[in-house]
Each structure stands twice: as C-alpha cells, then as structure tokens.
Structure 1
C-alpha cells in the first residue's frame, strides 16, 4: 500500500499540495474523533459533582469535536476528492495530446479497446476511487493508532492490546491485497475484451445480420467470461475480508472484557474502566474502511499500470514552421512497409508547387500509403520526403498538416450539425463563410432542404446523408481550410453517376490554384494531370502525362486497353 500511496502522490504532479493538505486534515480529524471519548471521561470524572458547568463543558467538548470533524471532512473532500478529478482531467488531456502527435501506425497496432478503456473506464476508476482509497487507508490507520495512543496514556497495557489488534489485522489485510492484485489484472483484461468485442459488433452489425449471425454468440461468451471474472474477484477477497473484520471485532471484545475485568477486581479506576468500555466499541470503526481501501489500492495500481502502458505513445517530433511560399514536394528513395511486408521500395518523385499529380496502381500497391507518408501519418523507414525543401520530420506535425487538405474515399463526419462539421476545417469561421464554401462545394441546396438547414444534426458519421452528400460536405470542409496542397484519396470512387457531375464541380473548386495529388479510378480525373505516377509492386514503373503514357507500351497503356474487362485494377 505504501508503494501505491507514493505512486499516487507522484502522479499528482503539480496538484500534490492538495493531497498533502488533505492528509493533514485527515490527521487532524483523527484528533477530533477522540472528542467523544474525552467528553465521556470528563462526565465520569465529575459524576459525583454533576453541575451545569460540567454539563456545559461536556457540550462544548462534543460541539468542538463535531464542528471540527465536519469542517475537516469538508476540507478533506475539497482538497483530496476534488484533486482526483482535477488530476485525471489533466491526464486525459495529456493522453489526448499524445494521441494527436502519434503516428497512424500506432492506432493500427494498438488495441482501440485498450485506448478506450484507459480514457473511460480506467480514468473513471482512478478519479472516483483514488483519493477515497487514500483517505480510507490513511484515515483508518491514523484513527486506530490515534485512539490506541490515547488509551495508552491512561493504561499502557490496554493501549498495547489495541495496537496488537491493528498489527494482527494486517495479516488478512495483506491477503486482501495479494488476492486483489492477482485478480485486478484479469478483470481489466476481461473489460478490455468486452470493449473490443462490443466495438467490433457495432461496427460489423450489418455484416452480422446479413449472414444471419444476429445472436452474437462471441459477444455473449465475452459477457459470460466477464461475469465469471467479476464473481471470482469478489469471492477471492470474501474470506480474507471476513478474517480482517473478525480480528478487529475480537480485539474490540478483548478490550471491553479486560476493562470490565480490571474494573471489577479494582485494578483499574472505575472512570477509566468505563472509558475503555466505550472505546472498545469505537476504536476500530474507521479501520473497517481500511479493507476497502486496500482492495481499491490494488485496483488503482493495476489501472495506473495500464494507464502508463497506454501513455507510452510514440511521438512524431519536429518544431520548425513551413515557409508559406515553398510548397513543392520531393520524395527521395522512400522505403516503407508494415511489419516484414514491404509496401514501397525506393520510391522517388517530384511534385512541383501548384501542379497536378495522379497516382495509378493495383489495389494494395501503396498509393494511399504514399499519400499518408507525405502528410506524415507515418514516418518513412528509409529515404526522405521534403516539403518546401525541408525534411517533413523537421516540421511540427500540426504545422505540416495545416498545409494539407485531404478528401478521403470513406468520409468521416461527426455526430453534430452540418455547420459544425464544415466549420471543423476552420474553427473560427463565420456562418457566412460556411455558406459560401457550401455553395462552392455544391452542397448548399441539399443542406437548405434538411429539416433544420445548417443546424441539422446529421447523426453519427453522417448516417442520415447519402454518400455523395457526405463527400461534398467533406469538400466544403477542405475548401474552408484553404490549404495549399489537396490530396484526393479515391474521392469519387463510390459516387453514383447522378451525383458525379456536382461532385466533380466541387472538386474543381477545391483544387483551383492548388497542388493536387489524386488517387482515383476514373479516367477523366487522371487525364488532365501534369504527371501520372504508375506504381506496381512497390515501385514507380512509369511516369509522365496521359498523352505520353498512352504512346508507350507499359502498365498504363495496358490498363487503358483492357480496363473494361480487367479485374483488380484501379486508375488514379
């Protein structure tokens, strides 16, 4: 427990002063908890001369004790309980900053369930129970020791019995910690599996239903496993927790019996005997919370371990700013792969500022990967990519991305209003600016036809909109950002012919006067490019304009000849 307490204080960082003040209030609260015993002793000492002065003094002692406990408990909550929420709010924001600067490869390898659990379940456990556990453990120990020392002042033998009870109770308390430690990790892993499987089930609900697998047997098994793990955890600490309480109850009884025996045989003053009888009932009251605190401490330790593991996020470094007047891109001998599979092998190309570059290749040939490397979603494994003459690794990640607008094949929209989804491209944009880009993106008319116009909430991932409508909103968002480089990742591939003309007009507005890198499968998107890069098996096998490549026997011409019947190809 001491190790966990030290770790909690270290974790508190700049807020550790609040924790220390909370502990001071807990110590003072222990002193005021002795006020009732002191008042009882005062009455007994004056039982034969019970005057109004004695009564008023007793009331004053009880009153000071009560007010002191109320104030100190209030201050403990202000300092410690509030500190828990403040500390872990900062930790959530810190993790958000880390994730924002993490390479995209991290999210491919790392379990989204783990990240989700850290931000939600783990953080909730820590902010709700960390300071409660500290208060229970520290308060319980201090109360027991404080009353024991108080009793020792009047009779060292009785004080020694009280302290012996505390020391012996540490044996079952250690068992509680051991059991909780071994089971907390299993419980955490079970929660993570539940989260992963729930997320998978929700994402794949259409596939599950289409194959008649609506019974969700895998999900049911996960829930059953979690239930069994939770029950095992509760059963695991039931016996040691019972021994802990039994130890305290037995020693409370021993104190009461000894006080009665010694008073009866005249070896203890009647006044002190009565005081010890009363103390026997209250001495270990606060310590019963110690078992709960010990149990929580191990869960907190596990949660902090998992939090630290998730916080170990790789970071994209860089601090330089981009020269606004230099936006040319050069790819030099770039090699990149996933694990042992090489996707791009010694790729080199130049994309001058305000030029149009199209990329063509098989599905899975590395077209999207190359674009992701250009905007530094991943770092290259060898070679380099420069933007404005400088290696992109030298730029701050946010600074680099501010110069790129990306329109993806699979558009992601937030569960928010249409206006706020467009405003994501420029948070300070006015309503008039949003309407202007919506008109340029050819989406103003259908937005106005929505129930609440621009204030219509479009549902999670734009579920209430068609594919073409979502795509045009994403183009409006990119228009509002007004970045000098535009990357189109198969932006027109899934759009029906009815919406294609409007979408192409929107793209024309977006790309006007910009550097454009396009990945597409439609010929009219490719033929006007200043250069076309043809990627095959991780290499650029051809490059040139549409006219040039049409006159050369190669991959590009072969595609043009057989594109109607060939399977597995996409032209970009």
Structure 2
C-alpha cells in the first residue's frame, strides 16, 4: 500500500511521506525497547535488594519520556503531511481531470468521480494522519518486544514469534476475502450517487407526471443495494477479526504455559515469568488492534488504487517544442476518428479560410459536435491532422490553442455565482468597461436590468435561476469578452423562443464578425449566412459548397433543407 500511496502522491509529497514513515518506525521501535527495561526493573524488585531497582526505574521513565516525545513529533508529522497531501491531491486530481480527453467522461464517470473526490480522497489521504502510525506500531512494536524476549529467553521468544506468521496469514486471508466485498461496496456507492443525481435532475419530469409523492424506485433499489453490500462487508470481515483474536490469545496462552513450565523446572524465576507475561501482553494489545486498522487500510488501499488508475490515465500529450500559429484558418486533413467501436470520421478533409464562416449540417449522430471538439482538441484524431493556422493542433500548447478559440455550446453551463463572475470567465483581467460592452453586444444588459441585484444577481448552480436564452446570452457575452479570432458554435439557438432567438442571433452576429467561424446548424435559417456548408453523412462529407450551390444540385442537402423548412413553409 505504501508504494501505491507514494506513486499517487508523486515526487512532491513522496519524500515527506518517507520521512514520516521512518519517524513512525523509529517511534514504534523506541516503544518496544522501552519495555525491555521492565526486565531489570522487575528482576530487582523481586530480588533480595529492591532498592537496586531505582536506577532502572529512572532509566525506564527516561525511555518512556523519549518515546512520548517521538510519538508526539511523529503524530504531528503525520497530521501535517496528511493535511498537505489532501490539499495538494485535490489540486492534482482537478488538474488531471481537466486534461483528460472528453471521451473519458462517459455516463458512469459522474458518480465515480463524485465518490472519489469526496469520501474517497479523504479516506485515502487520511492514511498518514490516522492509520499509518497505529499500523506501524502494531507491527514494529510487537516485533521489537519479541526481539527483547529472545535476548532474555530464547525459548519464550521463539514461542511468541510463532504467532507472527499465523497473524500474517490471517491478515492476508482477510484482505483477500474483503477485496470482492470492498469492490462491490464501491460499485454500489457509485450507483447510488448516480441515482441521487438522476433523481434530482428528474424532478421536473416526476412532478409533471404527478409522482412527487411516490418513491423513486431506481434510487430506492440502489440504496437497498448499498445496505446489503454493507452487510456483506461486515460478514466478510467477521471471520478474520475472530480468527485474529483467537490466534493472539492462543499464542499468549502458549507463552504463559511455557513460562510456567520453565519456572517450575527451575530454569527461570518468578520475576522473569512475570516480566515475560507483561511483555507478551504488550505484544497482544497492538496485534488485536490490527483487525480494525486493517479494515481501514483496506478501504484506503481500494481508494488509492482507484485514484491511481485515474491519475495513470494518460491526458492529451503536450508538444515538447510547441509551435504558435500565426494565421487563423482551419483544416481537416484526411482525418479518421473513432469513438469506441464506431468510426465517426473516415478520411475527412475540408478547410475554412481565415475570416470565413462554415456551417456544418447533417442528421443526428453524423458527428457535427464531434467536429467542433476535434477542432478544439478535446480529442486527438486516430489518423490525419487537424490544423489551426497551418499548424497541427497537437503541436500547439493547449493554453495557446484555447486562447485562440471561443466556444459557445448548445447546453450552457454557468457556475454558481453572479452574472458578472460568469461573464468574466472569458477574460478575468478585463476592465469594467469591456465587461459592460460585451454584455451590451450580447443583449445581456436587458436581462441584467430586469433581474433583482443586476450584475450581482446569482445565477444558481448550473445557471438554474436563468432561462435557456438568458444563459446563452451570458455565454455569448463571455465569448465576446474573450475576443479571439476563432469561434465555434454548437446549435446555440436550437431550443430558444423567438424573442431569445432573435437576441441571441444578434449577439452571434457581433461575435462572429470578421472571425473564422465553424457553426453546427440545427435551425437551417442560420446556414444562409455561412460562406460554405458541409453536409455530413456516414462518416464522410456528403456534399460541400455554398447554400445556393447545394440547393441547385438538388441532392441530399436540398432534401434535408426542404424537410427542415417544411414546417416553416406550412405555417
């Protein structure tokens, strides 16, 4: 487990963790060695001259004082390292998650990351603060005491030492039997987290269906599975705990019987037998605590392995010698891209000259949004190249690439904060005049005027306190404030009412003026303003040209256009 912990921590914290482990080991050895002084103390007390025990008592007191200081220092070191590690690991995990390909975030990742970033990370990083010192003490202190016993009487020492492999075997067997239970518990926890999130998101549907008073069966079932999994975990742990207790008690009884036999045979005196029993009792106490400590360590080990798996997931590689593009034209060159078992693009090529607009249309699932994501390098292509300004995006530093691109998604996510804070995400160092100008250009000022609090109005988690059109205006204002040469638009008006659609279109016109634009079009009216149109079909470009050219060909695009515009014509 220590190796996994050090690997997860990385070089920044690994050295401090090693020092803490060494300090805790020395502390545990000091505790065991201090008990060695009980041998001469008890021997003198039960001898003919009890006063001779005074110097040994003083030495024993000094040894205990040294141990107490070491224990304080080691525990304090463990707490400090644990606190720093927890703080650092939150940042490391967050930065790593931000660099992982978007494809990594499938539907099952939400609950997994939620559990990992909450209880999982606390449990894993709490090892050094709460579990490591007791665990090391439970192993090293008894072994040190046994070494003292062997030095004092090899027969009794060997008898005590026989318990070590038995205890180790029980711990290994328990860990193996608990592994499946722990994995099952993790899966149930993740499933329950997913169901809780689903239950919260499903409230509008449940209420619209008049089911607010009913139990949500999926959530109920998942919580019952968590309860059953917890019961299985306890039952799996019980045999190991009982076995450990029995093994330690049998070993203690064996040492007691052997000591009694040796005393009756005259090999050792009563004082020596009493000393051995005291030392054996000191061995038994920490060994018995291994059951509880082991359960905590196994849980932490499972979380560490899951954390290590996530941190070992390779992010998109950064170029060793990054190239900064000068121009802002875009191009796909023989791009092939697969998502799982599905080929989304197969040898696709096209270009967008600097300052022009490209509209991308096609049936659902044709890869329109994926095309935008490849341009922004949310994924890397399997073959071919995506170029910005003639430079392969894989050769551009990620921060430099994203500084050239503004993206307005169909589903806008706003952070729980004020409108101004969300707009300033586009350019945090912008002055107030630029922020206000961007809001006016996006017609966000109309929203701000009617909201209580104005610029300080809170948008709620995910922007829940704003309508879809209002969230889009915030997103457009954010992109306007960023003021970059390339704009990617993903069906931004597909679900807006006419008033908001008009306002958003005006904001988009200001946003795209003079810039290189790629827009995924859902409402076909927006296609007319594009310089060129791509019609995606079956992983290929079915047709390409201007809107009027494609209509004149009377091909697949013309059919798609006629079907899309039919409701508008009938109205």
TM over 0.5: yes
Aligned-pair distance for 1:324?
Answer: 5.3
Match of 1:196 in 2: 194
Distance 2:562 2:492 in 1: 24
Please state whether the residue corresponding to 1:532 is helix, strand or coil.
strand
Distance 1:46 1:384, change over 3 A: closer
Aligned length: 562
Distance 2:323 2:35 in 1: 71
Is this contact kept in 1: 2:336–2:346, CA < 8 A? yes
Distance 2:26 2:564 in 1: 83
Match of 1:496 in 2: 497
Is this contact kept in 2: 1:322–1:388, CA < 8 A? no
Structure 2 gap segments, 5+ residues each: none
Is this contact kept in 2: 1:317–1:396, CA < 8 A? no
2:158 corresponds, among 157, 160, 169, to 160
Distance 1:445 1:281, change over 3 A: same
Q: Does 1:118 align with 2:116?
A: yes
Distance 2:160 2:176 in 1: 25
Match of 1:409 in 2: 410
Please state whether the residue corresponding to 1:286 is helix, strand or coil.
helix
Pairing of 1:105-504 with structure 2 (within 5 A): 105-108=103-106, 111-129=109-127, 132-211=130-209, 214-256=214-256, 258-259=258-259, 263=263, 267-319=267-319, 321=322, 323=324, 325-504=326-505
For 1:525-545, what per-residue CA distance to the aligned partner results, in whole angstroms no more than 9, with x for missing partners?
Answer: 332322233334444344443
Structure 1 gap segments, 5+ residues each: 568-572
- Range with bigger deviation, 4-13 or 513-522: 4-13
Please state whether the residue corresponding to 1:406 is helix, strand or coil.
strand
Match of 1:103 in 2: 101
Is this contact kept in 1: 2:376–2:405, CA < 8 A? yes
Aligned-pair distance for 1:462?
Answer: 0.4
Distance 1:142 1:346, change over 3 A: closer
For 1:503-526, what per-residue CA distance to the aligned partner results, in whole angstroms no more than 9, with x for missing partners?
Answer: 222222222221122223445533
Distance 2:445 2:557 in 1: 38
For 1:283-307, what per-residue CA distance to the aligned partner results, in whole angstroms no more than 9, with x for missing partners?
Answer: 3212222233433444344333333
Please state whether the residue corresponding to 2:106 is helix, strand or coil.
helix
Distance 2:164 2:437 in 1: 74
Match of 1:570 in 2: none
Aligned-pair distance for 1:209?
Answer: 4.3
Distance 2:412 2:334 in 1: 31
Distance 2:392 2:341 in 1: 25
Q: What TM-score does the superposition give when structure 2 sets the normalisation length?
A: 0.87
The Cα RMSD (Å) is 3.2
Aligned-pair distance for 1:321?
Answer: 4.6
Aligned-pair distance for 1:461?
Answer: 0.8
Q: What TM-score does the superposition give when structure 1 sets the normalisation length?
A: 0.87
Aligned-pair distance for 1:474?
Answer: 0.5
Distance 2:447 2:494 in 1: 21
Distance 1:9 1:326, change over 3 A: closer
Is this contact kept in 2: 1:37–1:275, CA < 8 A? no
Is this contact kept in 2: 1:176–1:291, CA < 8 A? no
Distance 1:308 1:283, change over 3 A: closer
